[in-house]
A and B are shown apart, each in its own frame.
Chain A
Amino acid sequence: MITLTVNGSPQPLEAQINLAQLLENMQLTGKRVAVERNGEIVPRSQYAQVELQDGDQLEIVVAVGGG
């Protein structure tokens, strides 16, 4: 079992997964999001190659209305 921090909240996971699978679990596949992992931007093309590790800090963002 591993625990990620996703957008500031702990996310325990039964098994290790990659970033594309995490986004799928969050119903974000195909949505326009951007991901930062441990302070580094993860290019969209690499989501399936990024195996998430215990303790990873993820920020997943979207564009919203703002001024």
Chain B
Amino acid sequence: MHTLTIAGKTYSSRLLVGTGKYKDFDQTKQAVDASGAQIVTVAIRRTNLGQDASQPSLLDALPPSKYTYLPNTAGCYTADDAIRTLRLARELLDGHTLVKLEVLGDPKTLYPNVVETLRAAEVLVKDGFQVMVYTSDDPIIAKQLEEIGCVAVMPLASLIGSGMGILNPWNLQIIMEHAQVPIIVDAGVGTASDATIAMELGCDAVLMNTAIAQAQNPVLMASAMKKAVQAGREAYLAGRMPKKIYTASPSSPTSGVIGT
């Protein structure tokens, strides 16, 4: 009930976190640990020529034996670049096949290019990858990505890094009603209440990076997000009372009031 299953593997945490935009690896590790996340996204980038090779790496701070790595294709604008990036990631991580596919359409909005995303997803699924896919909140595209064989569909709440929260809960609900795979809200969460709302809607998990990394106190925000996701999940399972517009209902007994 409380666990999340993706591609046959079960996780106790429903919060997935990114590892970008932190001050240093020490802060990254503290925030990830405070979030309780078991799945962490990482980017794949060229080694810098002339870089000091003795510097610590992300993999030293967050050992892949302890966390499930989710290599992403951030910065890719074509299906081909995304596919190449994830093939490199698979080699880098010793055959690891669980990946986050994102193909962007525009550097200003970072809005997903769903046409290229669909193309890349088809190739990657055929190539044996377990694809968790970032997409728009279009219910038809979400369903098509599921039918291609993606193991999780991850619609945006709002633009990447915007912190604008959930702009279209109705579309997310349509996506969830029709989904047979986990639906994970990815991108746009700004603060704890946004994560709670996503989970109250019935999302299976939330993925975030900037909301934690760019908080004034990232480690404290990571802890808040952990609780927010748990609270939203429990509220969803508990089933909220119906909204009664313009109809008050007293919580205390109506009889026995003094002076009556």
Binding site for B on A (CB under 8 A): 6-9, 11, 26-28, 31-36, 39, 41-44, 59-67
Contacts and interface: CB of A to CB of B under 8 A. Distances in A.
B57 A66 contact: no
B139 interface: no
B19 interface: yes
B47 A26 contact: yes
Contact of B57 (A31, A60, A67): A31
Contact of A63 (B53, B59, B87): B59
Interface of B: 18-22, 25, 28, 41-47, 49, 53-54, 57-59, 69, 71-72, 74, 84-85, 87-93, 160-161, 208-210, 213
B91 A43 contact: yes
B84 A8 contact: no
B160 A33 contact: no
B209 A67 contact: yes
A41, A60, A66 interface centre (most CB from chain B within 10 Å): A66
Given A6-B49, A9-B49, A64 B88 contact: no
A28 B47 contact: yes
B22 A63 contact: no
B91 A66 contact: no
B47 A60 contact: yes
Given A62-B92, A63-B92, A67-B210, A8 B42 contact: no
Contacts of B19: 65-67
Nearest to A8: B46
Nearest to B88: A34
Contacts of B22: 65
B58 to A, nearest CB: 6
A27 B71 CA distance: 24
A60 B53 CA distance: 13
Contacts of B42: 63-66
A62 B57 contact: yes
Contact of B43 (A8, A31, A64): A64
A41 B213 CA distance: 33
A19 B30 CA distance: 37
Nearest to B75: A66
13 contacts: A26-B53, A31-B57, A41-B91, A60-B47, A61-B44, A61-B47, A63-B44, A65-B22, A66-B19, A66-B41, A66-B42, A67-B18, A67-B74
Contacts of B41: 66-67
B59 A32 contact: yes
A15 B92 CA distance: 28
Nearest to B44: A61
